[in-house]
């Protein structure tokens, strides 16, 4: 807000502008047809609000006021420069004739659909996968280019180029700023959920690795997931939101004060966020009872079973194995097979789980997956197969790239090398 920052009224105005920024920008992109123009118009609207609202009072509909102000100022800028660049005069005429000026009391109608349009555009399949995540953070979440770059430990110039190329590709291909037709909605929604999940995973990894980042991607992903669940309450949207909430609920207990990873069974459950867990469990129940629930809902249901157990010993492993069976049928992958093998070990004993795990490690890419080696080490340890356990822990250490995880594996290996076998 620049120089307009003094006093409680200006603080309130800034708060309103921050709260409305994403919604107003989404509508300005639709009305102006250009990311850069919409961004400049948003800044102009904020400055206009800082000047006028202290004198005129807060409008009854701040969101619509900001949209109208931004559009009006963008058109004014284009007309001022039209004599230098004739193409801008054409653009101004197109904006004036192609987009209806929103009414002041219409803020409850146009922004919701515009936000959905923007999210689906940022996650369009015609854009490269890396660009989808960066563009979503920049345009839909409102992070600065520097914040996006810092979150992914990428030079700001590289990230700026990536975002600029994505914007250029949208213009070059004429990608429509609209919701996908019903026949394409499920496939396009899956891409949106993938982007949000990637954002969340990146935030969790940064947290686990204690990587510096100016933006908490996990929190941004949860916020976007909440918003999407309100705008498009599909089963899998609720399922993904529940999965993120449950994972976030465990965050305080996932590492020791020394920065070492803590396995789920050893976490202090009193440190879990009970409110997030309660919210997530309601979402899981709603998603499971709806048509269209998929892999995110099943993953969330598995974590919910863990969260509902008062202690690790009370975990309903039979139910977890059943859920993994369903997930394996729906979305087979080596990671799902690994997690199912661990669940079978807890239900039927370490020998049964290790047999499944050994078969998995004997083919495909699972042998290069650190968590699979760590799981094999743990099951061998329980069975008293110390040499095999030590070898597997060493392989897991070689494959791990995360400091918290490496500290945990190193401690387990050191303890195993100096202690006798542990029975199942």
Q: Which residues of the chain fall short of a pLDDT of 50?
A: 1-5, 99-109, 210-215, 422-424
Where exactly are the structural domains of the chain?
1-108, 331-424
Tens of pLDDT, residues 403-419: 888 999 999 999 988 87
Q: How many CA atoms lie within 13 A of 274 on its CB side?
A: 6
| pLDDT at position 404 | 83
Tell me if the pTM is above 0.75.
Answer: yes
| pLDDT at position 217 | 87
- CATH 3.40.190.150 assigned to domain 331-424? The reply is no
Helix (H) or strand (E) holding 49: helix 35-56
- What distance in Å separates the CA atoms of residue 121 and residue 135, rounded to the nearest whole number? 9
> In whole angstroms, how large is the CA radius of gyration of the chain?
26
CA nearest to 148, candidates 226, 42, 220: 220
| pLDDT at position 97 | 58
């Amino acid at each position: 807000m620049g120089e307009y920052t003094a006093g409680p009224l200006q603080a309130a105005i800034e708060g309103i502008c921050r709260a409305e920024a994403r919604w107003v920008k989404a509508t300005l992109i639709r009305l102006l047809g250009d990311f850069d123009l919409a961004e400049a118009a948003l800044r102009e609207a904020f400055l206009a609000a800082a000047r006028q609202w202290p004198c005129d009072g807060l409008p009854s509909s701040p969101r619509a006021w900001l949209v109208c102000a931004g559009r009006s100022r963008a058109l004014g800028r284009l007309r001022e420069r039209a004599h230098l660049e004739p193409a801008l005069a054409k653009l101004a005429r197109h904006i004036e004739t192609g987009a209806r000026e929103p009414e002041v009391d219409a803020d409850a109608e146009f922004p919701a659909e515009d936000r959905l349009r923007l999210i689906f555009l940022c996650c369009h399949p015609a854009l490269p996968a890396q660009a989808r995540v960066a563009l979503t953070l920049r345009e839909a979440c409102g992070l600065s280019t520097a914040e996006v770059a810092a979150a992914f430990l990428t030079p700001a110039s590289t990230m700026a180029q990536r975002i600029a190329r994505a914007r250029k590709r949208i213009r070059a291909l004429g990608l429509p700023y609209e919701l996908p037709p019903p026949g394409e909605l499920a496939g396009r929604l899956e891409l949106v959920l993938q982007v949000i999940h990637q954002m969340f995973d990146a935030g969790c990894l940064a947290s686990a690795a204690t990587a510096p980042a100016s933006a908490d991607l996990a929190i941004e992903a949860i916020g976007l997931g909440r918003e999407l669940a309100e705008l498009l309450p599909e089963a899998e949207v609720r399922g993904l939101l529940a999965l993120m909430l449950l994972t976030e609920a465990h965050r305080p207990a996932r590492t020791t004060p020394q920065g070492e990873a803590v396995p789920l069974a050893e976490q202090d459950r009193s440190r879990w966020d009970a409110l997030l867990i309660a919210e997530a469990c309601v979402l899981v129940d709603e998603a499971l009872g709806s048509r269209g629930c998929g892999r995110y809902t099943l993953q969330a249901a598995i974590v919910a079973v863990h969260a509902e157990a008062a202690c690790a010993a009370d975990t309903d492993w039979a139910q977890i194995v059943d859920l993994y069976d369903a997930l394996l049928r729906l979305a087979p992958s080596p990671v799902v097979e690994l997690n199912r093998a661990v669940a079978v070990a807890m239900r039927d004993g370490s020998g049964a789980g290790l047999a499944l795990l050994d078969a998995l490690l004997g083919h495909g890419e699972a042998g290069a997956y650190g968590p699979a080696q760590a799981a094999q080490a743990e099951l061998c340890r329980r069975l008293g197969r110390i040499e095999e356990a030590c070898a597997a822990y060493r392989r897991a250490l070689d494959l791990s790239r995360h400091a918290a995880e490496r500290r945990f594996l190193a401690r387990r290996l050191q303890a195993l090398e100096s202690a006798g076998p542990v029975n199942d």
